[in-house]
Structure 1
């Protein structure tokens, strides 16, 4: 979808300095839209502009914080659409789950309320597979009808994404007025970053390349390319059938070890430090006793999740790119940006 837009709609993207948010901004500008994006501190305006191409001067950067009401009415003013990407993602899980859950939920409601009051047509909310598939079910196969139970023993992040999305749907149903909501639930987002800020998934590739992950756990995850995540948001933003719908966005399910082998296959000397040894489930359980960072992994042992994305394909015409190409593009961009030594 690289054709220029025949209109001049203004679109707000929250968190335009982030990994996914910057790609949303770039794709919208490429599509001919006027774009406004929020960042918490205007000190980072130059960083955002360096990540995207804006020769026509169609990008406006404003300050707004998800923890405060101030700034959101101005941010949505004149906007036809809002893509709400910004959400807390901590480097480590907080001891108090509410430290993550409350800002994620209240931030989403703050954006939705401002959008409703500002006459926005539709909000596209970036949720997560975390809100879909972290309550176990036979076969580990998931589609948009599945929900993670927020009462389950999951990490604060998983619970925050579930509760925030649930709250968004409840708000639109009870208080949304004419506001439309569409939700995208991506799996692990890989792909080339536009700047120095990495997602957890791209950080995994970096850790394998720089040798800070010498062995891998026997875990599986679903890959989706950040460029395809941007694409599905744009499709959901304008497609008439997307109103009131959620869409899973994911591709192939792979293991940590297969990810390492893809890097070794394509990166040559740059992949000299990638891990070649996979721990056994017993070794992961033993290590988790003394390493809190591994404790969440224990609950995922034995899972090979499968995402059914027929809805996005059939309704929106969306299709993810090749997983191996996504992984290679991720790694090469990290090297090009100087985030990993060549």
Structure 2
């Protein structure tokens, strides 16, 4: 029997790498896009280290979200597409279009190429950032909610994810010609690394383990394991009920940064000795924001807010069962330490 071919965009990324691994383990053939062919060896080495020999079952295509070249070849012959690639800057960009344009234009490029190739379904990796920012609700956020783009102080990243997802739904509704779409909206993604490239959430854990956060701001966010995010992508890819649906992915109730720090200390013991559970008062964060770019990222309308979200829909409709948030956090720390990516705390 011929195996279905699945395209995963942005194969060098944290989530994409785990999606590729999960697809190969499930018996699919995989093609992935990379902006730079030089990254292919690192990807194959990472998969091999995770126990998956991808030779013969993993193809690599060159394509960039900001250009048309390569996308028709990348989608050709694919039954499904997981569109995972999206820009995410470690710091707020000076021009928000640096994030918004690649997110929106890249999503539409992938959808148009998928339609031309006769792809059955595209699963788009969106974010909780497209759901839970700019407006306050008195219940846990769920898939009915959308980030308010008119909200004052809304950062570029939530804008980019919201606009890209809106554009995807509008395209499928108006020009999809039968192309199916499902969307996965993860909260903060943690878990084991496949290689040394660090996402923003992984950098947070690294910074804590190195003792470079002497105290934490009063911020809350969700935690989900990257392995569970990959699993949800595969479920959304094939389950008939998933067509036309979005699925919020969280490993449980939202956690304050202090609770995240404590989970690392509890799970890693002496190896997390440099992690601080002290809490910065809001006024001090806002004062520091006048002088520090890092503090400005914390001194947002989210500072001091209590919020939560639910993944009940994904669990009920697709049978998805995420790991506990603390397990994802500890797995992050374990892999950072194993890979030698944590610098010793300064005396």
TM-superposed deviation, 1:276: 2.9
Q: Which residue is equivalent to 1:331?
A: 333
Call closer, same or farther: CA 1:302–1:140 in 2, change over 3 Å: farther
Deviations 1:11-35, CA, capped at 9 Å, x for gaps:
0000111110000000000000000
2:24/2:54 contact within 8 Å kept: no
TM-superposed deviation, 1:295: 2.5
TM-superposed deviation, 1:341: 4.9
Is structure 2 residue 34 aligned with structure 1 residue 35?
no
1:140/1:303 contact within 8 Å kept: no
CA distance in 2, matches of 1:138, 1:33: 40
TM-score between the two structures when normalised by the length of structure 2: 0.94
2:44/2:54 contact within 8 Å kept: no
1:202/1:330 contact within 8 Å kept: yes
1:15/1:39 contact within 8 Å kept: yes
TM-superposed deviation, 1:135: 2.1
Q: Which residue is equivalent to 1:267?
A: 268
- 3-state SS of paired residue (1:125): strand
Q: Which residue is equivalent to 1:63?
A: 62
1:222/1:305 contact within 8 Å kept: no
Deviations 1:301-342, CA, capped at 9 Å, x for gaps:
222221121110111000111111111111011111111158
CA distance in 2, matches of 1:181, 1:54: 30
CA distance in 2, matches of 1:112, 1:203: 31
Q: Which residue is equivalent to 2:133?
A: 134
Deviations 1:44-93, CA, capped at 9 Å, x for gaps:
11011011112552111111000000000000000000000000011211
TM-superposed deviation, 1:251: 2.1
In the alignment of these two chains, the number of paired residues is 337
Is structure 2 residue 216 aligned with structure 1 residue 221?
no
CA distance in 2, matches of 1:326, 1:241: 28
- 3-state SS of paired residue (2:18): helix
TM-superposed deviation, 1:292: 2.9
CA distance in 2, matches of 1:143, 1:198: 28
- 3-state SS of paired residue (2:223): strand
Is structure 2 residue 73 aligned with structure 1 residue 74?
yes
TM-superposed deviation, 1:140: 5.5
TM-superposed deviation, 1:41: 0.5
CA distance in 2, matches of 1:207, 1:175: 45
Q: Which residue is equivalent to 1:291?
A: 292
Q: Which residue is equivalent to 2:309?
A: 307
CA distance in 2, matches of 1:44, 1:56: 16
CA distance in 1, matches of 2:255, 2:15: 21
TM-superposed deviation, 1:7: 5.7
Which ranges in structure 1 are unaligned for 5 or more consecutive residues? 1-5
- 3-state SS of paired residue (2:274): coil
Moved more, 204-213 or 135-144: 135-144
CA distance in 1, matches of 2:55, 2:86: 29
CA distance in 2, matches of 1:159, 1:140: 22
TM-superposed deviation, 1:178: 1.4
Is structure 2 residue 46 aligned with structure 1 residue 51?
yes
TM-superposed deviation, 1:269: 2.6
1:335/1:341 contact within 8 Å kept: no
Q: Which residue is equivalent to 1:321?
A: 323
1:155/1:296 contact within 8 Å kept: no
TM-score between the two structures when normalised by the length of structure 1: 0.95
1:7/1:33 contact within 8 Å kept: no
Q: Which residue is equivalent to 2:236?
A: 236
CA distance in 2, matches of 1:54, 1:202: 26
What is the aligned-residue RMSD (CA, Å)? 1.4
Moved more, 303-312 or 64-73: 303-312
